[in-house]
């Protein structure tokens, strides 16, 4: 399966859940995706493409499935992947990974931080991977140093759907919509409490 097929032809919420447990790498370092949020186009009040808003800054959302939307807020970067066909501005924000490959490099990129602090948030994850620019914004995933393993995945014991983080419009339907998906009990989820961490980090045990 290629990226375009994976990121099209089914609802964005379904794609977001299918990303959990897959390996994401950048120049060969990375880990398993454990948390992702869906943003659902023109009707989604919380999305950058709300009401058809479109400019060079958010053009990535309008690209066809499998292209990157990398964007800066304050001094931090966010990693999104566009879904659906061209001109349909839906996408998925990858919020957190469980580090697996190149952990030493990630610790260095995060100036000595270890454990969940390495990657349990979108900007932390980008720092750990060493992404410090929007260079790959609008690129096709297949032509970028980013890689997602579509051939293998680890199965979460349970996927939780919850409201997205950092959405301020508290009175809006969209602020509360359960469009954030994560692996129950995984320590690398944003704001995960220690007591809620589950055996095997929430993955189904494999022989």
Among 3, 6, 26, 39, binds DNA (CB under 7 A): 39
What is the per-residue binding string for DNA in 60-89, x denoting contact by CB under 7 A? -x-------x-xxxxxx-x-x---------
Q: What is the C-alpha to C-alpha distance for residues 164 and 36, in angstroms, rounded to an integer?
A: 9
Q: What share of the chain is helix, strand, coil (3-state, %, to 5)?
A: 30, 30, 45
- Phi first, then psi: what are they for 154, rounded to 5°? -95, 140
Q: Which is nearer to DNA, 18 or 37 (CB)?
A: 37
35 near DNA (CB under 7 A): no
- The residue (of 69 and 136) whose beta carbon lies closer to DNA is 69
Q: Which is nearer to DNA, 135 or 204 (CB)?
A: 135
- Closest approach, Cβ 200 to DNA, in A, equals 21
- C-alpha neighbours within 13 Å on the C-beta side of residue 50: 7
> Tokens 């969940």 map to which residue?
116
Binding to DNA by CB under 7 A, coded x per residue (else -) over 153-182, reads -----------xxxxxx-------------
Distance CA 2, CA 110 (A): 32
Choose the binding region for DNA from 7-15, 16-24, 51-59, 143-151 (rule: CB under 7 A): 51-59
Among 17, 140, 190, 198, binds DNA (CB under 7 A): 190
In the block, tokens 């409201």 appear at 163
Task: Report helix, strand or coil for 117.
Answer: helix
Rounded to whole angstroms, how far apart are CA atoms 185 and 194?
9
Q: Determine, following the binding rule CB under 7 A, whether residue 46 of this chain makes contact with DNA.
A: yes
Q: Which stretch binds DNA (CB under 7 A): 18-26, 101-109, 153-161, 187-195?
A: 187-195
Q: Is 193 helix (H, G, I), strand (E, B) or coil?
A: coil
Kindly state the smallest distance separating residue 94's Cβ from DNA, in Å. 9
């Amino acid at each position: 399966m290629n990226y375009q097929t994976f990121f099209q032809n089914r609802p964005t919420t379904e794609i977001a859940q299918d990303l959990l447990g897959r390996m994401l790498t950048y120049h060969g370092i990375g880990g398993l995706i454990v948390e992702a949020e869906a943003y659902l186009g023109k009707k989604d009040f919380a999305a950058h493409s709300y009401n058809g808003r479109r400019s060079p800054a958010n053009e990535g959302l309008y690209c066809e499935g499998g292209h990157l939307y990398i964007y800066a807020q304050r001094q931090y970067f966010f990693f999104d992947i566009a879904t659906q066909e061209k001109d349909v501005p839906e996408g998925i924000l990858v919020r957190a990974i469980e580090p697996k490959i190149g952990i030493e490099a990630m610790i260095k990129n995060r100036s000595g931080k270890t454990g969940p602090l390495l990657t349990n948030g979108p900007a932390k994850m980008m720092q750990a991977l060493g992404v410090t620019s929007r260079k790959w914004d609008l690129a096709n995933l297949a032509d970028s140093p980013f890689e997602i393993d579509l051939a293998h995945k680890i199965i979460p014991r349970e996927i939780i759907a919850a409201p997205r983080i950092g959405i301020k419009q508290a009175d809006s339907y969209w602020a509360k919509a359960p469009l954030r998906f994560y692996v129950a009990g995984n320590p690398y989820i944003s704001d995960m409490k220690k007591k809620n961490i589950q055996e095997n980090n929430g993955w189904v045990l494999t022989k």
